[in-house]
């Protein structure tokens, strides 16, 4: 019997973790996995104990580089025997953000990196996500991925995957170039998963099994879901 896959999660927030957990269960097709939530800190009900968002992922990346005193691959995290994979997720809407969105980010890289280099015309979604991945590697002081690292960059955000997976007959979900649309999160408000701008963790949890079941369809419709799926499966240890 195959050993459980040991996955460390570095994600923007609770609901991202829930969606990715559902996707991973689908991709592992019955094989067990042991999740470790590195960032953000969550309680037993998956409520965040610390701030999230892309800025927190950026800070985590910079912290492990500082701890290593060099590129991220020199941090012991990527050499630990009890971790098979480090999954780092940032939504592609980050491509239009600025480091100054977070006042606590000190000595950031050039703010124009996002504005001029990262966000590209869509389609194709990969034009932006490829550029964003380069930015994320820069956060890690790397030019290639460290061993065990897997990136996840939904376009424009992970709510696109949720809308396509849970509500495939929604008028927006059925439109072409769904990964280029900015209104998927808005549509989830009409379906009760988001209220007053807040993603409802209990609603996401209640739909986790449905998201797992729908994952093959999400892969078909969303190229970044397919890319993540392929890169994840390529990183899963054989036994």
Measure the CA–CA gap between 114 and 96, rounded to whole angstroms.
Answer: 6
Strand bridging mode 149-152 / 194-195: unpaired
Strand bridging mode 149-152 / 85-89: parallel
pLDDT for 51: 73
Measure the CA–CA gap between 72 and 140, rounded to whole angstroms.
Answer: 5
User: How far, in whole angstroms, is CA 177 from its chain's centroid?
Assistant: 20
Q: Which two tokens stand for residue 122?
A: 């869509």
Measure the CA–CA gap between 78 and 12, rounded to whole angstroms.
Answer: 20
Beta-bridge partner residues of 6: 34
Give, rounded to a whole angstrom, the gap between the first and last alpha carbons of the chain.
8
Q: Which two tokens stand for residue 95?
A: 């491509």
State which residues of the chain have pLDDT below 50. none
Instruction: Report yes or no: 184 and 163 within 8 Å, Cβ to Cβ.
Output: yes
pLDDT for 113: 57
Angle at 120 between CA 133 and CA 71, to 5 degrees: 20
Half-sphere exposure of 232 (CA within 13 A, CB side): 27
Measure the CA–CA gap between 137 and 143, rounded to whole angstroms.
Answer: 6
Measure the CA–CA gap between 193 and 211, rounded to whole angstroms.
Answer: 13
Measure the CA–CA gap between 158 and 20, rounded to whole angstroms.
Answer: 9
Measure the CA–CA gap between 159 and 236, rounded to whole angstroms.
Answer: 25
CB burial of 187-205 (b: ≥16 within 10 Å; e: otherwise) equals bbeeeebbeeeebebebbb
Instruction: Give 14-60 pLDDT, tens digit per residue.
Output: 999 999 999 999 999 999 999 998 877 777 777 777 778 999 999 99
Strand bridging mode 33-39 / 85-89: unpaired
pLDDT for 52: 82
pLDDT for 114: 61
pLDDT for 110: 63
pLDDT for 45: 76
Q: Which two tokens stand for residue 156?
A: 């424009």
Measure the CA–CA gap between 138 and 58, rounded to whole angstroms.
Answer: 10
Rg (CA), the chain: 17
Measure the CA–CA gap between 203 and 199, rounded to whole angstroms.
Answer: 8
């Amino acid at each position: 019997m195959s050993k459980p896959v040991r996955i460390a999660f570095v994600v923007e927030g609770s609901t991202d973790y829930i969606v990715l957990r559902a996707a991973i269960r689908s991709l592992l097709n019955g094989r067990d996995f042991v999740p470790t939530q590195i960032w953000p800190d969550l309680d037993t009900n998956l409520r965040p104990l610390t701030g999230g968002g892309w800025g927190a992922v950026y800070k985590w990346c910079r912290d492990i580089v500082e701890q290593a005193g060099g590129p991220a691959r020199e941090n012991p995290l990527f050499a630990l025997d009890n971790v098979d994979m480090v999954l780092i997720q940032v939504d592609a809407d980050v491509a239009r953000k600025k480091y100054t969105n977070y006042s606590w980010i000190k000595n950031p890289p050039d703010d124009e990196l996002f504005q001029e280099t990262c966000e590209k015309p869509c389609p194709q979604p990969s034009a932006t996500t490829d550029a964003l991945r380069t930015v994320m590697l820069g956060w890690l002081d790397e030019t290639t991925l460290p061993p065990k690292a897997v990136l996840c960059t939904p376009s424009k955000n992970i709510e696109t995957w949720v809308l396509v997976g849970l509500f495939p007959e929604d008028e927006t979900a059925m439109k072409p170039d769904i990964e280029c649309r900015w209104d998927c999160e808005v549509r989830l408000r009409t379906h009760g998963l988001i209220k007053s701008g807040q993603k409802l963790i209990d609603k996401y949890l209640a739909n986790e099994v449905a998201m797992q079941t729908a994952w093959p369809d999400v892969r078909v419709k969303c190229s970044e879901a397919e890319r993540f799926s392929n890169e994840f499966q390529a990183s899963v240890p054989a036994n």
